[in-house]
Chains A and B, each alone.
Chain A
Amino acid sequence: GAGVSQSPRYKVAKRGQDVALRCDPISGHVSLFWYQQALGQGPEFLTYFQNEAQLDKSGLPSDRFFAERPEGSVSTLKIQRTQQEDSAVYLCASSLGGGYTFGSGTRLTVV
């Protein structure tokens, strides 16, 4: 597609619920990144894929967070047993080099 598409735009989850956030990158973009942006903060790196390979997951805050990109295109960020501190905007970006193109993000609210 023309841009990076993320769904859903908004997600409200009850504490303890599992959630799955989807990212559809720009077609042909090799690199895909997930960032977490808490209220009033800059985006914080979560994980990076080059095609289907997850090359860096150093930013995932706990083992409740899991990301995959099985066919090297669409990616899913899964959060298990959500907690209130997981409330944030989750941004996906793709790149072919020279800067990222970001999606509009998924705003997750854990209640």
Chain B
Amino acid sequence: AQSVTQPDIHITVSEGASLELRCNYSYGATPYLFWYVQSPGQGLQLLLKYFSGDTLVQGIKGFEAEFKRSQSSFNLRKPSVHWSDAAEYFCAANLGGSGGYQKVTFGIGTKLQVIP
């Protein structure tokens, strides 16, 4: 079945440390891929997206993600985490259709805790 998997439900990192959040997808072709962040009580904010081209994409707030076709992965990274990055992060994929018009499937989310 087509799906998006985030294997880490909860991650804790120290402020200033590097961060990598994992995301895998299951789909017969290359989907459009997204990372969103959700702060408590807030909606989802788009961090970055991959449609095609360069497999390393830059996003807002210093985040980047790398698409690896061979691993069906789209991991999110940040070289140095700030306390304000504590939030929940959702990987998402358009597993059918073209562009952003078709429904997007979300992973279960990874809750990031940042300790001083």
Contact = CB atoms under 8 A, between A and B. Distances in A.
B68 interface: no
Contacts of B72: none
Interface string A22-43: 0000000011010100000111
A43 to B, nearest CB: 5
A95 B101 contact: yes
B46 interface: yes
A42 B103 contact: no
A66 interface: no
A21 B19 CA distance: 37
A83 interface: no
Contacts, number: 58
A45 B46 contact: no
A97 B104 CA distance: 12
Nearest to A44: B106
**How big is chain B's contact interface, by range?**
20 to 34
A43 B88 CA distance: 12
A30 B100 CA distance: 11
Contact of A100 (B42, B100, B109): B100
A11 B78 CA distance: 37
B90 A43 contact: yes
Given A91-B43, A98-B49, A99-B46, A45 B90 contact: no
A41 B45 CA distance: 16
B44 A91 contact: yes
A99 B49 contact: yes
A65 interface: no
B101 A31 contact: yes
Interface of B: 34, 36, 41-46, 49, 51, 90, 92, 99-109
Interface of A: 4, 30-31, 33, 35, 41-45, 48, 50, 56, 59, 91, 93, 95, 97-105
